[in-house]
Amino acid sequence: MTHVAKIIEIVGASPTSWEDAAQVALAEAKKTIHGITGIELKDMTAKVDSNTGKITQYHSTVKIAFGVEHS
């Protein structure tokens, strides 16, 4: 039997951390995607307040893999 996986890429955001942003992305994906088998953290970026120089929001780009369902 051949197994096929699909991979999508989404971005999660969090005011706390890149890890939390990745969890946000995964939680959102789980609402509509079944059978998630793994994620790959592709990129981490952040929004910075130009007045304070502090990070105000963390962004994590993740690739999410899940099996293709056969009918």
pLDDT digits (tens, 9 = 90+) for 6-34: 999 999 999 999 999 999 999 999 999 99
> Which residue ranges make up each domain of the chain?
5-67
Helix (H) or strand (E) holding 67: strand 55-67
For domain 5-67, give the CATH superfamily. Answer: Flavin-binding protein dodecin (3.30.1660.10)
DSSP 3-state of 35: coil
How many whole angstroms separate alpha carbon 48 and alpha carbon 5? 36
How many whole angstroms separate alpha carbon 39 and alpha carbon 48? 26
Q: For the segment 24-66, what is each residue's pLDDT rounded down to a tens digit?
A: 999 999 999 999 999 999 999 999 999 999 999 999 999 999 9
Q: Which pLDDT score, from 0 to 100, does residue 2 have?
A: 54
